[in-house]
Amino acid sequence: MGKQTPARRLGDNQSMAVATRLRTSAQKLNLVAEMIRGLDASDALSALSFSRRRIAGDVRKVLQSAIANAENNHDLDVDRLYVSEASVGKSIVMKRWRARARGRTARIQKPFSKITVIVTEREQRRGKKK
Q: Is residue 4 part of a domain?
A: no
CATH number at 26 reads 3.90.470.10
**pLDDT at position 48 over 90:** yes
Residue count of the chain, please give it.
130
Task: Look at the chain and report how many structural domains it folds into.
Answer: 1
Q: 26 lies in which domain range?
A: 14-121
Confidence grade of residue 126 (pLDDT, cut at 50, 70, 90) = low
CA angle 77, 12, 42 (to 5 degrees): 35
Quick one: average pLDDT of 68-77? Answer: 95
Between the alpha carbon of residue 16 and those of residues 40, 48, 49, 86, 102, the distances in Å are: 15, 18, 20, 10, 51
Contact assessment for residue 54 and residue 24, using Cβ atoms and an 8 Å cutoff? yes
Burial 67-84 (b: 16+ CB within 10 A, else e): bebbeeebebeeebbbbb
pLDDT of residue 8: 85
Partners of 27 in beta bridges: none
Would 126 be classed as within a structural domain?
Answer: no
In a domain, 63, yes or no: yes
DSSP 3-state of 78: helix
Q: Is residue 128 part of a domain?
A: no
Q: Give, as one character, the DSSP assignment of residue 108.
A: E
Q: Is residue 127 part of a domain?
A: no
| pLDDT greater at residue 7 or residue 42 | 42
Confidence at residue 128, expressed as pLDDT on a 0 to 100 scale: 58
Q: What is the pTM of this model?
A: 0.89
- Structural domain contains residue 20: yes
